[in-house]
Structure 1
């Protein structure tokens, strides 16, 4: 018999928020006086973002290393402003999450450094309003999606059994990683389909 759900765990980017990487890149490029390719290379092609997501570099180390790669004295505020520029809250999905949160426990698990979780009230106020402090960056668990270790550590921290957790993400590999860890998974493809899925679980 399937266990009842105790936790609904949402991804952030391209689920609760629309994420525009190009807008983030453009913001940093304008700030540091480099072109978009240089910014893309410094953040992603260098592997820095992946290491930060997996908790292999501290927030301070991440900002310092990124500044060095861009030859600019980058600050946390610079990073936050750029990250915010690339995030647009999805009001419909957030409204669904808010409805679920009235009767069920909800949280967010996102591939990010801890700066994002620590500053979610600035970066995306509507998400902060619904989830409060229950926004978790992968870096805090020392692993990144789609590693099953990330999901196991997250639900252990939240004191919820994997099989009582429904994880929602727009990336199939991330959903597969959650399922491998024992969670129930759902790939987000749109608002209406999500509402139907949650209703089918008795969550709406």
Structure 2
């Protein structure tokens, strides 16, 4: 017997919005005047993005280090514009989240630096409209998915028992990490299947 759900915790990228990494790379490459491979290496291959997601480096240092790797005086606005270019709201997924929010607590937990959560109104207004301030970046908790410690810190902050949280993510490892932390987990495949799951759990 599973505990009744009191909080539905959504992933952001490729759940509530479609995330196009190549669009982010292309936008930033155009800004800094470098090729796509150089941008990709600076953000991901260097390990910088992973360190930022895990809260091992603050936002200001993250932007400064990325700028140094790209040999360009990068600004927060440059980063935000590139991130926004990569995000397309999924209207159906957001509709489901809005319906759930009418009856239950909802929040977002995303592997990202704090810049994303702090600027969600600019980056993805439809998500901000539903979740308001309840959008959390992994960096703010000092861990990244799929570490169970991340989920535990997040739900403790939200003052909800882990067993009463349903976590939704498109990455199987992230769902597994949540389950290991004592949350209930569901792997997102598409909105039709998600709607069936939410209905089955009487969350709609």
1:155 alignment counterpart: 155
2:5 alignment counterpart: 5
TM-superposed deviation, 1:3: 1.7
For residues 34-59 of structure 1, give each alpha carbon's deviation from its aligned partner in whole angstroms, at most 9, with x where no partner exists: 00000000000000000000000000
For residues 39-89 of structure 1, give each alpha carbon's deviation from its aligned partner in whole angstroms, at most 9, with x where no partner exists: 000000000000000000000000000000000000000000000000000
Give ranges in structure 2 of 5+ residues lacking alignment: none
| Alignment partners' CA distance in 1, 2:92 and 2:155 | 26
2:85 alignment counterpart: 85
2:116 alignment counterpart: 116
| Alignment partners' CA distance in 2, 1:94 and 1:182 | 25
Calculate the TM-score normalised by the size of structure 1. Answer: 0.99
- What are the within-5 Å matches in structure 2 for residues 93-132 of structure 1? 93-132=93-132
Calculate the TM-score normalised by the size of structure 2. Answer: 0.99
1:57 alignment counterpart: 57
How many residues of Structure 1 are paired with residues of Structure 2 in the alignment? 204
| Alignment partners' CA distance in 1, 2:21 and 2:51 | 18
TM-superposed deviation, 1:2: 2.5
| Alignment partners' CA distance in 1, 2:153 and 2:82 | 29
Write out the 4+ residue segments of structure 1 that deviate beyond 6 Å after TM superposition: none
Residue 39 of structure 2: SS of its match in structure 1? helix
For residues 127-163 of structure 1, give each alpha carbon's deviation from its aligned partner in whole angstroms, at most 9, with x where no partner exists: 0000000000000000000000000000000000000
- Bigger mean CA deviation after superposition, 2-11 or 45-54: 2-11
| Alignment partners' CA distance in 2, 1:176 and 1:17 | 21
Give ranges in structure 1 of 5+ residues lacking alignment: none
| Alignment partners' CA distance in 1, 2:92 and 2:164 | 25
